[in-house]
Structure 1
Amino acid sequence: MNIKAPRGTADVLPKEAKKWQYVEDTIKTICDRYHYEEIRTPLFEHTEVFQRGVGDSTDIVQKEMYTFEDRGGRSLTLRPEGTASVARAFVQNKLYGEANQPVKLYYFAKMFRYERPQQGRMRQLNQFGVEVLGSADPAVDAEVIDLAMTSYYELGLRSLKLVINSLGDKESRTNYRDALIKHFTPHKEELCEDCQSRLSQNPMRILDCKKDRNHPSIQEAPSILDYLNEESRTYFEQVKTYLTMMGIDYEVDANLVRGLDYYNHTAFEIMSEAEGFGAITTLAGGGRYNGLVEELDGPDTPGIGFGMGIERLLMALEAEGKELTLDEQLDVFLVAVGDETKKEAVKLVHDLRRNGIQVDMDYQGRKMKAQFKAADRYQSKYVLILGEDELQKRVINVKEMDTGKQHEVSVDQLADLLKQKLLGGNRYE
């Protein structure tokens, strides 16, 4: 019997989960500052959502999706990425009719991709994503990039590189597509099997091939920037101007095309340059996807967004030696001495929790000395000592662990005292 976690998945244990919570809370605060609202979509969608939204020619659709038939014979797919699901929700729930436009959304979601597991790249991955639907303003492109960079910066990352490109509008992409077909056709037999198929389906994706990335024909491929029409060129210049005004450094990479069919105009990736981070340096990627909502039977609606992997974010923090400021101390631990005190201890713990106090007690039937050791392991700020004498007098001993000071307090006044010391002190300042 195989009872281990499936390959490409991992358990996040309590100590590590505290880091995840810190990261998520920090990012949620940033999203609120930028006036983005949370959306939660189903874990699985009808397969057609991703076939139409992500693109039949992508590696995700062709090779990486977890697709199955339900008992009604419907084809369903575990969510491999977030944008198509959000666009589907936008259409289905008629968010395009909301008075406040554009609609600015964020999500934390599990994604599923059947690919070779490696460090920071799992088959079940966790992603933070942002989608803005309803605006074609290049300032929104800059804002989305700024939100991503701010998230990394406020979590402590500094070794970052932002790479941007323009994929142009439909006319520009069509002209560039023709140029790529002309360029790659003489080299078709030299390319991998996937790229040979891409040549007729979506030749731009050849530039994103991991197998052929060093092939001379890719190195010498024409640049998309040479095929941008005036409108696309102006749009890209405006995005770059806004980034410069924000003080955000960037590099232009004409070969950056991203792996999904729905991208147009702005495309970007954020990479880690931290020493020892690994060969795969990408932390986040995204871009503009005007036309995706139409593809999912919605009205003509421009959109832009990005996705960032939480696992890779945590890897980058570790590579840069950044320690998250985690509060791992327990506020209060109650030590109960004697059989008769147990009932009162249970009630006291209940009452303190209802008063907003973080508190725990022994459930192992340990002796007093062992209970104090447990309080030390939890780094408890205060230890409450309840013995049979205290029980009779309706008092409890409160020991402040930092100073070692100990004093007797009425049980009836305990909650108010602890609230004053903990909730009114520097814990929440």
Structure 2
Amino acid sequence: MSQQTPQAIRGTQDIFGADAEAFGFVVETFERVRKLYRFRRVEMPVFEKTTVFSRSLGETTDVVSKEMYSFEDRGGESLTLRPEFTAGIARAYLTDGWQQYAPLKVATHGPLFRYERPQKGRYRQFHQIDAEIIGAGEPQADVELLVMADQLLKELGVSDGVTLQLNTLGDGASRDAWRAALIEYFRAHAADLSEDSQDRLERNPLRILDSKDPRDKVFTADAPKIDDFLNDEAQDFFAKVTSGLKAAGVDYVRAPALVRGLDYYRHTAFEFVTDRLGAQGTVLGGGRYDGLMEALGGSATPAVGWAAGIERLAMLVGDKGEGRCEVTVVVEDDRVLSDGIGAVAGLRRAAISAELIATGSPRKRFDKAAKSSTRAILALGWSETGTTTRLRNVDGDTNAIESALAGFAWSGAQG
């Protein structure tokens, strides 16, 4: 009876070759940049109690109602594979004593899980990079995160064609006044709105503003604007964010339709968007969420953060290749195999990438190396006086190779 080869789960992916190199380049660049900005590395659990996400994301959001992977463990407790990082980091801040480090700058990356329709650059298991500043209520924290994100995209080489869209949601009072005006406005057009927007009208009217449904777009253009409801404090906060971006040399465009539906979001909201990934053009997004800690049962704590999909950034990065080998060591006579193993080990300890070819027909090993993408070939042979070496340069640094092998104890005299 034949066995069927197991297939990958729909909406997941195996990452290999050039795709894996681009993925790794995103993570390595993020790690380097977060160290420049002095963000502390954290590692978060892959699953949490379901209440961590239902309380932070809202029971009625699509993520909680449709997209979370939740299950009961053997003890009957409901657990959820994390759909995002912020809620878990907020939970840890409240439960692990991280308040003592406030203002706390943290960063992380890893897999997340959402049961959503797979599309270009989106998967049910996907990966994100994430940066948060907790316990800092000043607009300078927003500026630092935005400047950090801008530098990250530049160092990834993907900033061309990427635009920072920026908006303010105001403080709590400004947002509440705006929300009430939106409800009143959209009620008058409720019968003509899409089904989703009719459902959101009373509980989440801000989400109607970013609806892509043509039935809603007819009305969103004339909907009340947040600027008409900003008090002096909210205006001053946003002005300090924009002046900080100007001082740092970061360009942006005002995007009044850019919103966050959850009530704990305040002030700054932003997205870095591109037209190179189809309709879903956001590559990095975030905002200030000053009300989240209270939603999780903690005291009022200001916070701001952003996240970006690694797969989507890797698609913009493009082909990074797998990197050329600096030197290939070819053992042309099996009697010098030990020298070949030792030479490769010495080169790698000197931070020179190296491969060893010591199998197959001895006469064809050099040809195999020559057909590879190596930068240099070190051929090892045998004569009556011992090991012979022959270094062929393709386009590498033979001086570095010779320096790394200086003093190496070959089996015999070198020819």
Structure 1 length as normaliser, TM-score?
0.85
| 1:332 alignment partner in structure 2 | 327
The one-letter amino acid paired with 1:191 is L
Distance 2:323 2:42 in 1: 30
Q: Residues 188, 404 of structure 1: CA spacing in aligned structure 2 closer, same or farther, 3 A cutoff?
A: closer
Alpha carbons 2:376, 2:396 under 8 Å: kept: no
Structure 1 runs of 4+ with >6 Å offset: 403-407
Task: Pick one of 63, 69, 77 that aligns with 1:74.
Answer: 77
Task: Pick one of 225, 228, 233 that aligns with 1:226.
Answer: 228
Using the TM superposition, give the Cα deviation of residue 254 of structure 1 relative to its aligned residue in structure 2, in angstroms: 1.7
Distance 2:81 2:218 in 1: 37
Distance 2:147 2:363 in 1: 53
Task: Pick one of 174, 177, 181 that aligns with 1:175.
Answer: 177
Aligned: 1:400 with 2:395: no
Task: Pick one of 92, 95, 108 that aligns with 1:92.
Answer: 95
| 2:107 alignment partner in structure 1 | 106
Q: Residues 163, 385 of structure 1: CA spacing in aligned structure 2 closer, same or farther, 3 A cutoff?
A: same
Q: Residues 248, 405 of structure 1: CA spacing in aligned structure 2 closer, same or farther, 3 A cutoff?
A: closer
Distance 1:293 1:240 in 2: 26
Alpha carbons 1:65, 1:80 under 8 Å: kept: yes
| 1:422 alignment partner in structure 2 | none
Alpha carbons 2:192, 2:215 under 8 Å: kept: no
Distance 2:32 2:205 in 1: 40
The one-letter amino acid paired with 1:175 is A
Structure 2 length as normaliser, TM-score?
0.88
- Higher alpha-carbon deviation: 251-260 or 35-44: 251-260
Q: Residues 124, 313 of structure 1: CA spacing in aligned structure 2 closer, same or farther, 3 A cutoff?
A: same
**How many aligned positions are there?**
403
> 1:19-418 to 2 correspondence within 5 Å?
19-98=22-101, 101-156=102-157, 157-211=159-213, 214-258=216-260, 260-274=262-276, 277-318=277-318, 324=320, 328-350=323-345, 352-354=347-349, 356-362=351-357, 365-389=359-383, 393-402=385-394, 415-416=405-406
Runs of 5+ consecutive residues of structure 1 not aligned to the other structure: 419-429
Q: Percent identity?
A: 38
- Partner of 2:44, secondary structure, is coil
Distance 1:4 1:103 in 2: 43
Distance 2:227 2:35 in 1: 35
Aligned: 1:12 with 2:34: no
Distance 1:145 1:117 in 2: 29
Using the TM superposition, give the Cα deviation of residue 116 of structure 1 relative to its aligned residue in structure 2, in angstroms: 1.3
Q: Residues 212, 51 of structure 1: CA spacing in aligned structure 2 closer, same or farther, 3 A cutoff?
A: farther
Alpha carbons 2:211, 2:217 under 8 Å: kept: no
Distance 1:360 1:55 in 2: 53
- Partner of 1:256, secondary structure, is coil
Distance 1:78 1:222 in 2: 38
Q: Residues 304, 374 of structure 1: CA spacing in aligned structure 2 closer, same or farther, 3 A cutoff?
A: farther
Alpha carbons 1:384, 1:396 under 8 Å: kept: no
Distance 1:417 1:111 in 2: 50
Structure 1 vs Structure 2 CA RMSD: 2.8
